[in-house]
Copies of this chain bind each other. A is one copy, B any other.
Amino acid sequence: MPKTLIKVDINKPAEKQDMLPHNRWHPDIPFVASVNPGEDFRIECLDWTGGQIVDDNDATDMRDVDLTKVHYLSGPVEIAGADPGDLLVVDILDIGAFQESEWGFTGIFARENGGGFLVDHYPEARKACWDFHGIYATSRHVPGVRIHGMSHPGLIGCLPSRELLNEWNAREAELIATDPNRIPPLAAPPYADTALLGHMPPQQAKEAAKVGARTVPPREHGGNVDIKNLTRGSRIYFPVYVEGGGLSVGDLHFSQGDGEITFCGAIEMAGWIDLHVDLIKGGMEKYGIKNPIFKTGTSGPNYNDFLVFEGISVDERGKQYYLDAHVAYRQAALNAIEYLKKFGYSGEQAYVILGTAPVEGRISGIVDIPNACATLYIPTEIFEFNIMPDSAGPRVLVDRAVELAKPT
């Protein structure tokens, strides 16, 4: 095992961890550890809610989760010799849950909490808990599926420079200003009250908290990209913006579908990630890199049989949109859910399956006015029964009495 750079204690609240996580992005967050290019190391991570969600049959915790207190990131780690303009090469060597905590959760968020991709259809909080069986996850709340997960960090990236941070804040503020009272909001602005800035001295942290970028969106440095393919064996090339790089990671997912559509849509877990780092000096300029790029690896699951649902940019009320891939993907998801309901799943269960299984979401057509065409690929092998259409029609093999957890 590589040396463990950062340890967490899942029985303590995030704020009490020895490692002092951060939940905002700011160039001045002090490094908690340092490695050399060429080194392997392990980083432990809290689950993205820092333990707010428990393994039970009551979704009250999911309904009441405090979203300003999430994404407790482990880091930043200094990479010796990293300078702005370099590319930080990160190999994902392995990822796993803690042995004493081999479970995960998925939530549908309530509208009040931002909801998910299909909030108009599924506005209430729900929870599914998953048990891990080696490479597989099953859920007592979602019968009939066994998912070989493509485990990955939902959130990983380097610290932004001051200039980049300013740019983020400016452009997001401008968007919010177009509809400042919208619920849910258009973006998540800095929010000092719940900001954690790791080992930053209190007075400095107080100032930094006012401008520290929220961790919700992915940005130029990576961040909350939620790309399921950043799994074991992938190699990521991150832009470096500050001296030492400052690599942080968190929000580990046992599995997730493209889009992470229920918002808390992955199978969320606490756990560890093993990384190897290297540097390409001056790589941003050499390769014209603005956002991270990555190379896929050779690890599984290598599902190869998919049932695919199409969606076009006409919404569920018949309204036509112009090349809107968001609308098109939503239609593909809704179409898939209607289909799965024929086999006995509730809409909420089907929604969770799309969020958690390694479904692929594709932008199939983006130029044929006025309809974007999106496709959603479900690996058929996750189901314990045959979900292909045939003349006999669907057989309801799922026990309709089983449901996602609701708030009590």
Q: List residues of A whose CB falls within 8 A of some B CB.
A: 1-2, 40, 87, 89, 91-94, 99-100, 102, 114, 116-117, 133-136, 148, 167, 171-172, 174-175, 184-188, 216-220, 222, 224-229, 232-233, 237, 258-263, 265, 274, 276, 280-283, 286-312, 314, 318-326, 329, 331-332, 335, 338-339, 341-342, 360-375, 377, 380-381, 386, 388-391, 393-394
**Given that A325-B363, A362-B360 are known contacts, is A388 also in contact with B94, CB under 8 Å in the complex?**
no
Among residues of B, the one whose C-beta sits closest to the C-beta of A175 is: B320
Task: State the Cβ distance, A357 to closest chain B Cβ, in Å.
Answer: 12
Among residues of B, the one whose C-beta sits closest to the C-beta of A282 is: B393
Instruction: Give the most central of A117, A184, A281, A375: most B CB within 10 Å.
Output: A375
In the complex, A167→B298 CA distance in Å?
Answer: 43
Find out whether the CB atom of B102 lies under 8 angstroms from the CB atom of A291: no
Task: State the Cβ distance, A138 to closest chain B Cβ, in Å.
Answer: 10
Q: Count identical subunits in the complex.
A: 4
**Given that A171-B318, A280-B391, A389-B87 are known contacts, is A364 also in contact with B117, CB under 8 Å in the complex?**
no
Find out whether the CB atom of A293 lies under 8 angstroms from the CB atom of B308: yes
Report chain B residues within 8 Å CB of A365. 218, 224-227, 259-260
Find out whether the CB atom of B186 lies under 8 angstroms from the CB atom of A394: no
Find out whether the CB atom of B280 lies under 8 angstroms from the CB atom of A326: no
In the complex, A366→B316 CA distance in Å?
Answer: 18
In the complex, A142→B261 CA distance in Å?
Answer: 38
Find out whether the CB atom of B93 lies under 8 angstroms from the CB atom of A133: yes
Find out whether the CB atom of B133 lies under 8 angstroms from the CB atom of A339: no
Report chain B residues within 8 Å CB of A323. 326
Instruction: Give the most central of A224, A371, A374: most B CB within 10 Å.
Output: A371
Partner of A167, one of B92, B186, B232, B318: B318
Find out whether the CB atom of B311 lies under 8 angstroms from the CB atom of A291: yes
Among residues of B, the one whose C-beta sits closest to the C-beta of A234 is: B308
Besides A94-B135, A386-B386, 14 other A-B contacts (C-beta < 8 A):
A1-B99, A2-B133, A87-B389, A93-B135, A135-B233, A184-B369, A217-B312, A222-B310, A224-B368, A259-B364, A263-B367, A280-B389, A286-B342, A296-B377
Task: State the Cβ distance, A4 to closest chain B Cβ, in Å.
Answer: 10
Sample (22) of A-B pairs whose CB atoms are under 8 Å apart: A91-B133, A93-B133, A175-B370, A186-B369, A186-B370, A218-B310, A224-B368, A225-B373, A226-B365, A259-B366, A263-B367, A281-B391, A283-B389, A286-B393, A287-B393, A290-B335, A292-B310, A293-B335, A326-B366, A326-B372, A361-B364, A363-B374
Partner of A368, one of B91, B226, B363: B226
Find out whether the CB atom of A217 lies under 8 angstroms from the CB atom of B263: no
**Given that A134-B94, A219-B371, A312-B220 are known contacts, is A298 also in contact with B288, CB under 8 Å in the complex?**
no
Report chain B residues within 8 Å CB of A175. 320-322, 370
